[in-house]
Structure 1
Amino acid sequence: MNAPVPGPIGLTGPIVHPAGLIGHPPVRTTCPYCGVGCGVLATPDGQGGAAIAGDPEHPANFGRLCSKGAALGETLGLETRLLHPLARNDNGVLERVGWDTALDRIARTLAATIDRHGPESVAFYLSGQLLTEDYYAANKLAKGFLGTANVDTNSRLCMASSVAGHKRAFGSDTVPGVYEDLDEADLVVLVGSNAAWCHPVLFRRIEAARARRGTRLVVIDPRRTATGDEADLFLPVNAGKDTIIFSGLLVWLAENGALDEAYIARHTSGFDVALATARQLAPSLASAAAQAGVSVEALTAFYRLFAQTPRVVTCYSQGVNQSAQGTDKVGAIINCHLATGRIGRVGSGPFSLTGQPNAMGGREVGGLANQLAAHMDFSPANIDRVRRFWQAPRLAEREGLKAVEMFDAIAGGRIKALWVMGTNPAVSLPKADRVREALRQLDFLVISDNVAANDTIGCNPHLLLPALAWGEKDGTVTNSERCISRQRAFLPPPGEAKADWWAITEVARRLGHEAAFGWEGAADIFREHAALSAFENAGTRDFDLTGLTDLDPPSYDTLPPTQWPRPDRGAEAATRFFAEGRFYTPDGRARFIAPEPPQVHEACSKSHNLLLNTGRIRDQWHTMTRSGLSPRLGAHLPVPFAELNADDAAGLGILDGSLVRVESVHGSVVVEARLCPGQRPGTVFVPIHWSEATSSAGRVGGVIAGTADPYSGQPELKATPVAIERVDLPYRGFILSRDSMETPRSGWWARARIGEVIADLIADERPPHEWLREGMGEAGPNAVHLVDRSAGRYRLADFDAAGRVRLIAFIERSGRRLDWTGPLAWFDTPPCDASRRGCILSGRADNAAAGGVIVCACHSVAQPQIEALMESHPGLTVAGLGTRLKAGTNCGSCIPELRRLLAGQPVAT
């Protein structure tokens, strides 16, 4: 029996540990998904795989993992991996070359490009998936020795507005609080955050605090998500109007005697201007409510809760950051905490929930184009300081181009050479079709990645370099609460894959910078990174790792999770910043920010009259190159979709399950319609995860406008005007196969791994007998068929020689996707004799509780299992479901859906 695991008060529970194979003890490492930074125990199986469990000693998760983290062991195979360097030959074909050939070519081409066009003709585009040591090496080479600051990262798309908001208010990019504040708060406000799905381990901490101390939860979001369903108070804010809600709150606090005037006077500046601006933006409670799209009663309830609750944490995520006015939104939130002195205290403060595992580490080493390393900017003093420390005479002296600007410069021919590491910009950036065109016209494109194919690799690179993947990498990452954790290797490098820092170092040495890049391992880079943070610091800068500057390799190998600042080796510093009211501005005072009037920057028109919002779903990550490999994650939401309000859909003749085209002036997608009561009228939501590898027309980046925030450069991903129309492809269906298949050549398709089966969900205007064999090949001698051409129906089940189901295909004349859950269950049945094979063509599972949509991915619990248990146990509770089926007992991200099923409602997204 598993014992409770110590952790935050109220957050205990059974944790399943890896069994521990002889000769293969568990390795402590860190999850590669979101910014929570969960500790992982990986037990190698000696065959290239590993058993995965949460690390009960890691302070971020205390043994908990979300559905994606729990499934990491299912993503470790080599079937999609890039294993050798490849170079484009004269015929445009990628062929295998040696590392020396590839590295020599990079060094030679970068030098020639700079000689011909200047340093700013070269750029690097990095990723929050990189380790801190990789990030540091890339920034040092580019900014210090090539002389270009055109070094940016996909983290620009997720938290740059938080960085800019922190710097405007605090004088530094400092996260004030820690996760423990979620345990100790009496009010948690979630703004633009579906934490129940996107940060479920932290959401479980909030849930534990609610159960233990009665913590109230307010959710502010345009969509009523699974998180909104759990809230004590939900405010369905109009797109882009978060600033209005928090400006109105500042006014309300001032008018109701709820300010901490002594704190304002001693520790801040600019309050009078900020309050006057807030009064212009939200002159009355009624005005604020009308602009925000919420009721006066709901807004008043929130303002009273905030004013009357001493311990308040306001967590915000992509709904705030991914905005053309994201920095102002962050500033408006921080204003309310400064005005009440609720910062730097236990259970209080603004808190940015970071999207990627090492977005914070990238910020620490200068991974953004407007930063130097160690949280230093491009001020003359910092330029001089970094130049002397690196002994880098060609150090860049001005900010580089941020992500959107960078790809505009590529399209305009100003950037000639680009090195992309660990990211897929042809999918993730706004105006993604233009990004693809820009990538194809580069004089020199290098891509370092661990996959052999993705949309960006499809843009005809000159070189592909095989990078190490999670499980093979060795280095550090920093999570949302400033905790540095080790990612440790527990698998050997496959093929010729190498660490990204190693490839960068080898290029630097070929360019003549051996002395500056003399590292022999990741520990050497980390020590230098820590030393730069300590250089001429003495407490004057927030980022300080002085206490870690003397780590030798054994100490680095065993480094426990360590929160910064760490000014002394002997003892950790205070975990919270600003408790004493001293900030990193020239006068030591925090600055109130006066935001601009919020607006949607690309206006709706008569033809494009809906606003498109984008975001993540529960069980997938980014462009699915890792999470899409897991058999247990694909069944929850297997096809790209658009959430619509039912009234909007009715006016367009759209039914739940219809195919729809979502089109902006920049591009379009074709996805399935999902009618959701939580979707506001006039809005539509499409997830970000699908690419050309997983769908024919689901890549939403090509639709997004991407107007950039003037302070942060972060593009708007939450408010693009679109038009929607129904797409009538008369034949709908699916192919389920135990073996890999050719990509369908039908009119529309989406591919998912569902259990051990590859599923193609398809639609076409042609009858199936004209095209179906293109995707599945010829049926074997044991196949059974049902063909009714007059009804437009085709069904097939094929079997291997032992009688096991090999392939099932159902195609019919239908306006909606056919239910694949019953046929899917047959893949788990024993071999079928000839008398039973035709039963598969009924579309029903072999037993009533088999098949069905997966609700709990952690424990693979399907909806029919839950419904069968509900029928046999009237009055069943979520706890009862957990006891009997384990559903909801791991990360808890399915609990909102379990509650809806128990209430007789359809599952929510």
Structure 2
Amino acid sequence: NSTEWLVWALQIITGSYEQPGGLWFHPGFLRCFDRRNLRPSGPDLVRWPGPPSRPDLPGFYGEYPCAAMVDEIESGNLRALIVIGGNPASSLPDTPRVAAALASLDVLAVADVVHSDTAKFATHVLPCAGQLERADVPDYVDQYYPVVASQHTVAVVAPGADRKPLWWIAARLGEHLGHRLLPNDLALDEVTDDILLDAYSGRGRLPLDTLREAPTAVIAEGPVRGWVHERVLPEGRWRLAPRALIDDLARVATTTRRAARSSSPDDELVLIPRRLLRTLNSQLRDTQARGGRLEVATVLLHPTDARARGISHGDRVRVHSATGEVFASASVDASIREGVVSLPHGFAEPAVGRLTSGAVDTDPMTGMVRLSGLHVRVTPAPTGVSTPSS
């Protein structure tokens, strides 16, 4: 929180936001935030009531942080869960505890394009049409583009087996619950991907037919600057010092000073996450191009740290924290900083969630679990001992 806030503050006081060379706020091709009359937030950050099992965690806009999911299941407050494209089994802390909690649910409905780690616990699997099996226009993700652009893509192949588009699954569930979810009172048995896109895309920057006729992506315009100052900021001014962020900065400073005074054992390293080129979070781990290779989750550490621990490149090692342990192969590489060790996230094994806990490693302001900056020890794996990822 504090790092992100101070980055924003630096750009604001230097006049860099919404200026050439500085960051700008992407309004979205479909969402067109720059054309809406938006209401600025209040002077203070609003904290909603947290989950009954974890009142120490904040709620936001009627939602609870995922860090409380296991506690809510174990306390009996959460008995049915619908997971749409997520994979909590391999993305949350306390991996064994998460697995036991998911297995105990009365209903676990998983909607996805792949059979994920979470789908193994599902009482109901809702197989979704993949990206090549449906017509589509990007939404939300287009706000990460460096320009305001979009693209209409057609289905390349028909959906296999009984896969359906996610919108169809949601609309069918809505019908069973007595709700009509499709726009313009459309009937489910008459709707296609493109009919739904027509109804949804009318608010976009360009007509959907313009996207359909284009051979590739269409750039509507470059960076859109100035709209946040004009439509969002009260009196055109930023509030740089909300009380909640000031208090959080003081908490971070106190924690940092305390950590500096209590020196860590010499054999401890700091764990950081990393992404791999051929995977996306927990997806594409088992997919490879023809003649390509699968990514392997290894423990990346500096040669100096490896030598101090008697570890060579390719050795099997044990990474353990105050919460748990994982086993993986070592990858000795001078490109990583000395004193730091890295494991990629999203793998069933080694599951980095075993090394952290939602009970203690959770940000008090946002409820986000802590997945970086953890103190761990790395040692050669015991010989003759069976390890989870062997």
TM tier relative to shorter chain = 0.7 to 0.9
TM-score (norm 1): 0.34
Instruction: State how far apart, in whole Å, the 2-side matches of 1:334 and 1:497 are.
Output: 43
TM-score (norm 2): 0.74
Matching of residues 191-206 of structure 1 within 5 Å: none
Structure 2: stretches of 5+ with no match in the other structure = 43-59
Matching of residues 648-667 of structure 1 within 5 Å: 648-667=305-324
- In the alignment, which residue of structure 2 is the partner of 1:701? 353
1:578 is aligned to 2:226: yes
- In the alignment, which residue of structure 1 is the partner of 2:165? 499
3-state SS, counterpart of residue 137 of structure 2: strand
Tell me how far 1:633 sits from its aligned partner: 4.1
User: Relative contact order (C-alpha < 8 Å, sep 6+): which is higher?
Assistant: 2
Matching of residues 21-420 of structure 1 within 5 Å: 327-349=1-23, 398-420=61-83
1:622 is aligned to 2:281: yes
Quote the RMSD (CA, aligned, Å). Answer: 3.8
State whether residues 705 and 717 of structure 1, in contact with CA within 8 Å, keep that contact through their aligned partners in structure 2. Answer: no
| Change in CA separation of 1:509 and 1:426 when aligned onto 2, cut-off 3 Å | same
State whether residues 318 and 380 of structure 2, in contact with CA within 8 Å, keep that contact through their aligned partners in structure 1. Answer: yes
State whether residues 211 and 217 of structure 2, in contact with CA within 8 Å, keep that contact through their aligned partners in structure 1. Answer: no
Instruction: State how far apart, in whole Å, the 2-side matches of 1:376 and 1:401 are.
Output: 24
State whether residues 639 and 672 of structure 1, in contact with CA within 8 Å, keep that contact through their aligned partners in structure 2. Answer: no
Deviations 1:538-561 (A, max 9, x none): xxxxxxx4656xx57x56644774
Identity %: 23
3-state SS, counterpart of residue 86 of structure 2: coil
3-state SS, counterpart of residue 408 of structure 1: helix
1:456 is aligned to 2:118: yes
From 377, 380, 386, the counterpart of 1:726: 380
Highest CA radius of gyration, 1 or 2?
1
| Change in CA separation of 1:454 and 1:547 when aligned onto 2, cut-off 3 Å | closer
| AA of the residue aligned to 1:615 | R
State whether residues 621 and 627 of structure 1, in contact with CA within 8 Å, keep that contact through their aligned partners in structure 2. Answer: no
Tell me how far 1:515 sits from its aligned partner: 7.0
Tell me how far 1:627 sits from its aligned partner: 6.0
| Change in CA separation of 1:546 and 1:487 when aligned onto 2, cut-off 3 Å | closer
- In the alignment, which residue of structure 2 is the partner of 1:30? none
1:640 is aligned to 2:302: no
Tell me how far 1:403 sits from its aligned partner: 2.4
Instruction: State how far apart, in whole Å, the 1-side matches of 2:38 and 2:101 are.
Output: 31
State whether residues 334 and 350 of structure 1, in contact with CA within 8 Å, keep that contact through their aligned partners in structure 2. Answer: no
Tell me how far 1:686 sits from its aligned partner: 0.8
- In the alignment, which residue of structure 2 is the partner of 1:447? 110
Tell me how far 1:377 sits from its aligned partner: 10
| AA of the residue aligned to 2:3 | K
Tell me how far 1:574 sits from its aligned partner: 6.6
Matching of residues 499-578 of structure 1 within 5 Å: 499-514=165-180, 518-519=185-186, 520-523=191-194, 525-526=196-197, 529=200, 545=203, 547=205, 554=209, 557-558=212-213, 561=217, 575-578=223-226
- In the alignment, which residue of structure 2 is the partner of 1:466? 127
| Change in CA separation of 1:341 and 1:377 when aligned onto 2, cut-off 3 Å | closer
| AA of the residue aligned to 2:112 | D
| Change in CA separation of 1:713 and 1:580 when aligned onto 2, cut-off 3 Å | closer
Deviations 1:598-655 (A, max 9, x none): 46799686498322111112233322446633344426xx532111233333332222
Tell me how far 1:400 sits from its aligned partner: 1.1
Instruction: State how far apart, in whole Å, the 2-side matches of 1:376 and 1:404 are.
Output: 30
Structure 1: stretches of 5+ with no match in the other structure = 1-326, 353-359, 366-373, 380-396, 532-544, 564-571, 692-696, 731-745, 751-761, 763-909
Tell me how far 1:493 sits from its aligned partner: 0.6
* Alignment coverage as a number of residue pairs: 344
- In the alignment, which residue of structure 1 is the partner of 2:53? none
Deviations 1:23-60 (A, max 9, x none): xxxxxxxxxxxxxxxxxxxxxxxxxxxxxxxxxxxxxx
State whether residues 582 and 589 of structure 1, in contact with CA within 8 Å, keep that contact through their aligned partners in structure 2. Answer: no
Instruction: State how far apart, in whole Å, the 1-side matches of 2:274 and 2:105 are.
Output: 30
3-state SS, counterpart of residue 174 of structure 2: helix
State whether residues 523 and 556 of structure 1, in contact with CA within 8 Å, keep that contact through their aligned partners in structure 2. Answer: no
| AA of the residue aligned to 1:724 | V
State whether residues 31 and 204 of structure 2, in contact with CA within 8 Å, keep that contact through their aligned partners in structure 1. Answer: no
Instruction: State how far apart, in whole Å, the 2-side matches of 1:405 and 1:611 are.
Output: 25
From 663, 675, 683, the counterpart of 2:340: 683
